[in-house]
């Protein structure tokens, strides 16, 4: 497995979505994403950009959730 395919695998492991959902959101077929993950194919620069875009969306969602949880914890702390 080359470096690019390893990055795809690492990204998928970090994603909170199922493979099918992640692929759909990145504009790929599930089978194409599986081939990238297995190292059967190397994604083009365009595909890598789409995967990166979806990973950024996932990261922003996680950041919003973290901020929300922090805000709730602060409110809870003020009441105590």
The 10s digit of each residue's pLDDT in 23-33 is 898 899 999 98
pTM for the whole thing?
0.66
| Banded pLDDT at 78 (limits 50, 70, 90) | low
Domain that residue 37 falls in: 3-79
What is the structure's pLDDT at 40?
93
> Of 59, 22, 57, 54, whose CA–CA distance to 37 is shortest?
22
* Most distant CA atoms of the chain, gap in Å: 56
Give, in degrees to the nearest 5, the angle at Cα 62 between 17 and 37: 35
CA–centroid distance for 72 within its chain: 25
Place of tokens 């994403």: 33
Q: Answer whether residue 1 shows pLDDT above 70.
A: no
Cα–Cα distance for residue pair 7/13, rounded to 1 Å: 10
CATH number for position 34:
1.10.260.40
Considering 7-11, 12-16, 47-51, 75-79, the range whose residues carry the highest mean pLDDT is 47-51
Residue range 49-74: mean pLDDT, rounded: 85
| Tokens encoding 31 | 């089978």
Domain count, the chain: 1
> Of 63, 50, 43, 31, whose CA–CA distance to 1 is shortest?
43
């Amino acid at each position: 497995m080359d470096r690019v395919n390893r990055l795809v695998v690492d990204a998928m492991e970090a994603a909170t979505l199922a493979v099918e959902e992640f692929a759909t959101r990145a504009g790929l077929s599930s089978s194409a994403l599986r081939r990238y993950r297995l190292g059967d194919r190397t994604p083009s620069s365009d595909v890598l950009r789409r995967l990166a875009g979806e990973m950024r969306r996932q990261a922003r969602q996680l950041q919003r959730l973290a901020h929300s949880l922090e805000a709730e914890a602060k409110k809870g702390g003020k009441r105590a």
